[in-house]
Amino acid sequence: MNRESFRYAPSIVLGGSILLGIVLLTMLVIELQVVLAVLFLGLVLGIAFAPLADYLSRYRIPRPVSVLAVYALVAGVLALFLWYAIPRIAAEAETYIDESGELADQYEEFAEDTPLPALEDVQEFLADFAAGIDVAGQAFIVFDIGLYFVSILIIAIFFTISKDRAMDFTLSLVAEDQREQTAHVLDAMARKLRRYMLAQLISMAFVGLFTYLGLLILGVPFALILGVLAFVLGILPVIGATITFAIAFLLALTEGLTIALMVAALYVAIESLESYVLIPIVQRSQTRMPELLILVAILVGGALMGILGALIALPATVVLYILVHDVIVPWRQSQLERREAGDEAEEAPAKPAEVS
- Higher-scoring residue by pLDDT: 179, 104: 179
CB contact set of 171 (below 8 Å; sequence gap of 6+)? 179, 182, 183
Q: Are 193 and 319 in contact (CB under 8 A)?
A: yes
Alpha helices in 132-178 (DSSP H): 135-161, 163-172
Query: Is residue 352 scored above 70 in pLDDT?
Result: no
Q: Residues 255-263: what's their mean pLDDT?
A: 83
Q: Residues 285-311: what's their mean pLDDT?
A: 69
Query: Is residue 8 scored above 50 in pLDDT?
Result: yes
| CA angle (78, 84, 88) in 5-degree steps | 130
Confidence tier at 184 by pLDDT (50, 70, 90):
confident
Q: State the pLDDT at residue 91.
A: 78
Q: State the pLDDT at residue 150.
A: 85
Confidence tier at 291 by pLDDT (50, 70, 90):
low
Q: Residues 36-58: what's their mean pLDDT?
A: 83
Q: State the pLDDT at residue 330.
A: 77
- Higher-scoring residue by pLDDT: 9, 294: 294
Q: Are 48 and 157 in contact (CB under 8 A)?
A: no
Query: Is residue 122 scored above 80 in pLDDT?
Result: no
Q: State the pLDDT at residue 355.
A: 47
pLDDT, tens digit (0-9, with 9 covering 90-100), for 187-246: 877 887 787 778 778 888 888 889 889 988 988 878 888 888 888 888 776 677 788 888
Q: State the pLDDT at residue 343.
A: 66
Share of the chain above pLDDT 90, in %: 1
Q: State the pLDDT at residue 6.
A: 55
What is the maximal distance between C-alpha atoms in the chain? 110
State the Cα–Cα distance between residues 33 and 219, nearest whole angstrom. Answer: 44
Q: State the pLDDT at residue 356.
A: 44
Q: Residues 53-79: what's their mean pLDDT?
A: 85
Report the Cα 174 to chain-centroid distance in Å.
30
State the Cα–Cα distance between residues 207 and 209, nearest whole angstrom. Answer: 6
Q: Is 45 exposed, middle or buried (CB count within 10 Å of its CB: 0-12, 13-18, 19+)?
A: buried
Report which DSSP code applies to 60.
T
Report which DSSP code applies to 133.
-
Report which DSSP code applies to 94.
H
Residue 242's nearest CA partner among 218, 264, 214 is 264
